[in-house]
Structure 1
Amino acid sequence: MVRNHVRDREGRRGRGFVAGVAGVAALLLAAGCASDGDGDAVGPSASAPPSASSPPPASPPPAPAAGQVRVAGTLTDGLKSPWGLAGLPGGDLLVSSRDERTITRVDGRTGRQTPLGEVPGVVPGGEGGLMGLAVRDGWVYAYLTADEDNRIVRMRYGGGAGDRLGAPEPVLTGIPKGFVHNGGRIAFGPDGMLYAGTGETGRTGLAQDKGSLGGKILRMTPEGRPAPGNPFPGSVVYSYGHRNVQGLAWDGDGRLWAAEFGQDTWDELNRIEPGRNYGWPVVEGRAGRDGYTDPVAQWRTGEASPSGIAFARGAVWMAGLRGERLWRIPLSGAERSGEPQAFLKGEYGRLRTVLATGDGSRLWLVTSETDTRGTPESGDDRILRLEVGEGPVRR
């Protein structure tokens, strides 16, 4: 399998990692240096001048070209069923374990893991468990599967050393649950409202039922009330006709994009507008039918099975589970400006979540080999550090 070949040869860093870095790392270890996770030596030897016999300092690898991405290393590994990922002020990360029901803090420089505890009330099973995370104003929000439903809760978290999560408080309950198609992604939009992608739990009729929270994108206040300006008065429903929304992201102009699992034929990337019907189960993929909104891009299910998405450097980046690759979809305004490009095909297995840094120069990419559907190897699962090329793509 490609993944095994690449990992055995390159220590699972993938083709994008620049040749020769392993040799530099070996020299640093021999000199007794440590790494802070970004490649800068720390410790007493960090500032020592090179001796006459020392090799010249290695030049940093060139930045990726525009429209390209490079794996710059592994931030942390040994994660079990990682699903949600959220950034903290200062650059650290929170990652959820779907099946272990835990949230872990990951140092954004060293990768050191600090367990924050198990979230009460989570009932893992099938595609359900502890899933999406979001952070705002001292709260950690989580989308989870409970005994009777999927729901969104929030927990106080100070963010300091030794802090632990507070008791969960319900934000929104009553989202339908199932063995499959539980959705699970949550994110705060540029308008300050909380958005959630849900699934229709295998009961396809829920997607077209505007009175159900299943098969929808939801928009609410941070306290869980219907957000001002929602298309259906008194409802948190923002768009409908979805099968299983797994990714949410906003572009540089504040437009919402969503990745969605198809059934047998087409996976989708949709540009989301309030009140629109995205077709499921009447249509899958592009149909050109009145009353339904077609996707901006679509893929055969074996090439994608899309999960998390992020916006960086003028493009949507989409993690693929079954497709085992990272897709780049270039945008121009609200439309696609070129053909999607695939990166890392088969090199790291199933890819669950991708998160952009504030300036878009880096992506965090979470693998998903320990979720019962992958083929885990030593070190799985991991968070990869990716560098993104700057500037317009030359055509």
Structure 2
Amino acid sequence: MRKNASRLAAAAGLALVLAACTGDPNAEVAASPSAAAPPPTSRATSTPGGVPDLGAGEEVARGIEVPWGLAFLPDGDALVAERDSGRVLQVPARGGRAREVYRVPDVAAGGEGGLLGLAVSPDYATDRYVYAYLTTESDNRIVRFRLDDDTPEVLFDGIANASFHNGGRIAFGPDGMLYAGTGDAGEGDSSQDPDGPNGKILRLTPEGDPAPGNPTPGSPVYSLGHRNVQGLAWDGRGRLFATEFGQNRLDEVNLIEPGRNYGWPEVEGTGDTRGGRFTNPLVTWSTSEASPSGAAIAGDTLYVAALRGERLWTVPLRDGRTGEPRAELADRYGRLRTVAVAPDGALWLTTSNTDGRGDVRDGDDRILRYPAGPGAG
């Protein structure tokens, strides 16, 4: 049964019949001239729970067109979403040629919209579900499917879309619930509307219902006052951190707590909390230094992929506080979109130079792997 976000605004949802999958699940990615040869298979071992070695990066895939979502199957292979094509690619755990395993129907790519976040069910071994956040002609929505299905199941729709600020990151939390970061779709006031899904972090059951224990019973809204959330990550104590694009001045890292209001559009960055009504961020950067998208946590470090900043930020985490951020890989690979920790502890990083805003380099876009080990880095 479809769970329509319009229940929040009392507007009727528009039902779309999803077309059959057209992708060849056995097809390899069509290589550009710069991607004619697949990258070598990785031989670097990695230790789960170890420290990623940012000096030992290796390329595991190349020639990907605007990679966005990245999620891992239980065997360590990665699923990668191509934003504009709607294709889901599978990349071997130790690197090699990516192959198309699914094509999500009804993806309407344009501006920042398209096939965005991916998540793999925590119970994938038994239910085989993959989740996706995508832009259609009428909205942003969350669907799920099995790789051998033709038609995805729509779980949550009616999230306003635009050429920018679509949010799009989805991830399962330690509680087994599905979290989604949404954007304000260019309408800042929507972020302060408690009855609308835009400019929020949503918390849903795997079936797309408002999760039990949400701040407002029957509402999917977990937190509000966001401009454009594209990074979600939990530390070892189950605390949720989110990255957020600012407008003209300051990007943010926020510690997300249920029911809190993070201020947009009244506050950008740190500012007047209006007597505690708003919650200030833990970290801010100038928009030229960051434009933060994906986020991941390994050990006691938060990793943030920066688009405009063209670097990987590392932020120490201790007792819910943040230390001094440090810029890594600056200007080495161009725009960085997504960062994630693989089952073997390695840190995976995607570039985003073919998205229309970057300087395309030989082999772009590519996926990089940084193995983890005790005392590495």
- Does the TM-score normalized on the shorter chain lie above 0.5? yes
Unaligned 5+ segments in structure 2 are 1-33
1:282 matched residue in structure 2:
266
Contact 1:277–1:293, Cα closer than 8 Å, also in 2? yes
Output one character per residue of 1:232-254: Cα deviation in whole Å (capped at 9) or x when no partner.
Answer: 12110000000000100100111
Question: What is the alpha-carbon distance in structure 2 between the residues aligned to residue 310 and residue 96 of structure 1?
Answer: 17
Correspondence for 2:303:
317
1:304 maps to which residue?
290
- C-alpha deviations, 1:191-225, integer Å up to 9, x for none? 00000000001111000001110000000000000
Cα deviation, 1:61-119, whole Å, max 9, x if unaligned, reads xxxx9796224210010000110000001110000010111111111113221111321
Query: For residues 389 and 311 of structure 1, what CA distance do their matches in structure 2 show?
Result: 15
Between the aligned partners of 1:284 and 1:388, the Cα distance in structure 2 is: 35
* 1:272 Cα deviation from its structure 2 partner: 0.2
CA distance in 1 between counterparts of 2:306 and 2:167 reads 15
**Contact 2:236–2:299 (CA<8 Å) still a contact in 1?**
no
Give per-residue Cα distances to partners, 1:29-86, cap 9 Å, x unaligned. Answer: xxxxx9532259xxxxxxxxxxxxxxxxxxxxxxxx9796224210010000110000
CA distance in 1, matches of 2:314, 2:216: 33
Give 3-state SS (helix, strand or coil) of 1:181's partner: coil
Residue 219 of structure 1 corresponds to which residue in structure 2?
203
TM-aligned CA distance change 1:67 to 1:192, over 3 Å:
closer
Give the partner amino acid of 1:367: T
Q: Indicate conservation of the 8 Å contact 1:266/1:285, yes or no.
A: yes
Per the alignment, residue 334 of structure 2 pairs with 349
Q: Which residue of 89, 92, 97 maps to 1:112? A: 97
Is residue 98 of structure 1 aligned with residue 103 of structure 2?
no
Task: State the alpha-carbon separation in 2 of the partners of residues 350 and 71 from structure 1.
Answer: 19
Shift in CA distance, 148/268, structure 1 to aligned 2, threshold 3 Å: same
- Alignment pair present for 1:142 and 2:128: no
Q: Give 2:370's aligned amino acid.
A: L
Aligned equivalents of 2:58 and 2:362: distance in 1?
16
Max radius of gyration: which structure?
1
Q: Give the 3 Å change call, closer, same or farther, for CA 280–73 of structure 1 in structure 2.
A: same
Paired amino acid for 2:280: D
Relative contact order higher in (CA < 8 Å, ≥ 6 apart) = 2
What secondary structure is seen at the aligned counterpart in 2 of 1:247? strand
The answer for the alignment partner of 1:132 in structure 2 is 117
Unaligned runs of 5+ in 1: 1-11, 13-33, 41-64, 158-163
Choose which of 28, 35, 42 in structure 2 pairs with 1:37: 42
Give 1:31's aligned residue: none
Quick one: distance in 1 between partners of 2:352 and 2:41?
25
Query: In 2, are the aligned partners of 1:38 and 1:110 still within 8 Å (CA)?
Result: no
Report the secondary structure of 1:99's partner residue: coil
What TM-score comes out, normalization by structure 2 length?
0.84
Q: Percent identity?
A: 55
Partner of 1:205: helix, strand, or coil?
Answer: helix
**Partners of 1:37 and 1:68 in 2: CA distance:** 14
Alignment RMSD, CA only? 2.0
Instruction: Give the Cα–Cα distance (whole angstroms) in 1 for the partners of residues 176 and 367 of structure 2.
Output: 27
Query: Given the alignment, which residue of 48, 57, 61 partners 1:76?
Result: 61
8 Å CA contact 1:323, 1:350 repeated in 2:
yes
- Structure 2 residue 111 is matched with structure 1 residue 121: no
Following the alignment from structure 2 to structure 1, what is the Cα–Cα distance between the partners of residues 357 and 175? Answer: 36
Give the Å deviation of 1:359: 5.5
Q: Is the 8 A contact 1:247 1:258 kept in 2?
A: yes
Instruction: Within 5 Å, give how 1:156-167 maps onto structure 2.
Output: 156-157=146-147, 164-167=148-151
* 1:288 shift after superposition: 4.3
Residues 76 and 344 in structure 2, CA contact (< 8 A), matched pair in contact too: no
Query: Residue 207 of structure 1 aligns to a residue in which SS?
Result: helix
Hey, what does 1:332 align to over in structure 2? 318
**Alpha-carbon offset, residue 356 of structure 1:** 0.8
How many correspondences in the alignment? Answer: 329
Q: What is the distance in 1 between the residues matched to 2:53 and 2:250?
A: 25
Is the CA contact (8 Å cut-off) linking 1:73 and 1:384 kept in structure 2? yes
Deviation at 1:313, TM superposition (A): 2.3
Secondary structure (helix, strand or coil) at the match of 1:206 reads helix
**Structure 2 CA distance for aligned equivalents of residues 369 and 72 of structure 1:** 18
1:335 positional shift:
1.2
User: Which shifted more, 351-360 or 293-302?
Assistant: 351-360
Is 1:366 paired with 2:371?
no
**Alpha-carbon deviations, 1:289-316, whole Å to 9, x = none?**
2211010101000000000000002111
1:235 counterpart = 2:219: yes
Residues 70 and 388 in structure 1, CA contact (< 8 A), matched pair in contact too: no
